[in-house]
A = this chain, B = another copy of it.
C-alpha cells in the first residue's frame, strides 16, 4: 500500500488527482502495490475530501510514500521538496524551474535519503524524454540534444506563418484560446525553454547546467516579414533550445532558428513539442507530442508515481553531477549560417542587426 500526497491544486495538480482517481485499480496492478491518493495540499482550502492546508500532516504521516510537487517556482516548492526528501518520501515533480535550478542538490538529497526524485513531467509535458535519455539511450555518447520545447511560442510562430499575422495579434489569439498565460513573459522571453534545455543538457551530458549560464533569446522581436522571407526560401522559424558537445565542453543556448524543411522539426506546428537527441550509436531520435497541458503533464507525473511505488526499495539513477567549471562554452563560438534582417543569409552575424541562426 502506497499513499500519495499532492502539493498544489492548480492545473497540473488537479489533473494528477483526476487521472489518479480515474485509474486507481489499473495503476495499482501496474505498480504491483495498492496506490491511492490521501492528501491534496493547497494554501487555499479546497472542496475535496483529501484537501488539507497544513504541510506537516503529510510530513508526519508514515503512510505517505510519495509526494507530488506541482507548486511551481523555486521558493516554497524547494522547501517542500527538501523536507519531503529528508523525511524519506519520494518526490515527483513537474516543476522545471526547480529541477533546472536545484536538480543536482535535490537528486543528491534523494540519494542520501534512499528515495527517488523523478520529473518526467518537467520537460515536454507528456512526451517520454527523461526516461528514454536516462535509460534507453544509455549505450550512447550523446552529441547533441535540441528541440521545440514551448507550446505557446510554437503556436504563435505557427499562426504568424500560416496566417501572416504579426507577433502581437498572434499572442492575443494564443491567450484567447488559453494556450498562453495572462502573463506570458516566461514563454515569449525563452526562459521556459531555457529551464527545459538545462534539464535535458544536465541529463544528456552529466553535469548540472544552470539557467543563468545559458544565453537566451525569445521570440518577441520576430516579425511577419522575417517569417515570410524564411518561408520563401524553404525554412520554418522555430524557437529552439539546444545543447551540443564541443571541444572541451558543451554549448547551450535558446534562440529562434531557421529550420530547413528537410528537418522534421519544421513540420511540428501548433502547441506541439519535439525533441531530437543525437547519439553516437543510434543516430538521431525524435520524440514528439503535446508538451504541456493538464492531462498530458498528468500522464507523465502519474507514470512517475507508478514507477516510484513499484521501485519503492530501489533507486533510479541519473547520471547528473554538480556543475563543472569552465565546461560551458559560449555559443558564439559555434559556426553557423545566419539570417540577417534586410540582408538574407550570411556567414557571420553582424553587430546591431536582428539575426537568427540557420539550423544545419
CB-based nearest B residue for A130:
B136
Question: Closest B-chain residue to A140, C-beta based?
Answer: B299
- Does B285 contact A286, Cβ atoms closer than 8 Å? no
- Pair A128/B23 contact, Cβ less than 8 Å: no
Please measure, in the bound complex, the distance between the C-alpha atom of A141 and the C-alpha atom of B19, giving whole angstroms. 11
Inter-subunit contact A283/B290 (CB<8 Å): yes
A303 and B136 within 8 A (CB): yes
Residue among B32, B139, B306, B319 making CB contact with A139, cutoff 8 Å: B306
Contact with B along A121-145 (1 / 0, CB 8 A): 0000111100110011111110000
A283–B296 Cα gap in the complex (Å)? 7
Cβ-based interface call for A279 (8 A): yes
- Flag whether A10 is at the interface (Cβ < 8 A): no
Residues of B within 8 A of A132 (CB): 128, 131-132, 136
Residues of B within 8 A of A307 (CB): 135, 138
Asked if B285 and A137 sit within 8 Å, CB to CB, the answer is no
* A314 at interface, CB cutoff 8 A: yes
Which residues A297-323 have CB closer than 8 A to chain B? 298-303, 306-307, 310-311, 314, 317, 319
Asked if A288 contacts B290 (CB within 8 A), the reply is no
Asked if A267 lies at the interface with its beta carbon under 8 angstroms from chain B, I say yes
Q: Which residues of chain A from 1 to 33 have a CB within 8 Å of any chain B CB? A: 19, 23, 26-27, 29-30, 32
Task: Tell me which residues across on chain B come within 8 A of A128, comparing CB atoms.
Answer: 128, 132, 135-137, 285
Number of copies: 2
A136-B140 in contact given A126-B285, A286-B286, A286-B287 (Cβ < 8 Å): no
Which residues from chain B contact A290 at a C-beta distance below 8 Å? 282-285
**Chain B hits for A300, CB < 8 A:** 136, 139, 282
Check: A289 CB closer than 8 A to any chain B CB. yes
Q: Does A281 contact B (CB under 8 A)?
A: yes
**Which B residues are CB-close (under 8 A) to A303?**
135-139
Q: Does A97 contact B (CB under 8 A)?
A: no
What does the 1/0 interface line of A57-81 toward B look like (CB < 8 Å)? 0000000000000000000000000
Q: Is A200 an interface residue (CB 8 A)?
A: no
A226 at the interface (CB under 8 A from B): no
Determine whether the beta carbon of B139 is less than 8 Å from that of A285.
no
Q: Which of B267, B283, B299, B310 lies in contact with A126, CB distance below 8 A?
A: B283
Q: Which residues of B contact A26 (CB under 8 A)?
A: 141
Asked if A346 lies at the interface with its beta carbon under 8 angstroms from chain B, I say no
Other A-B pairs, 4, CB within 8 Å; known A32-B317, A135-B303: A29-B319, A127-B285, A131-B136, A283-B295
Q: List 6 A-B contacts (CB under 8 A).
A: A120-B136, A126-B285, A137-B299, A281-B295, A281-B296, A314-B314
**Closest 3 interchain pairs by CB?**
A128-B136, A126-B282, A139-B302
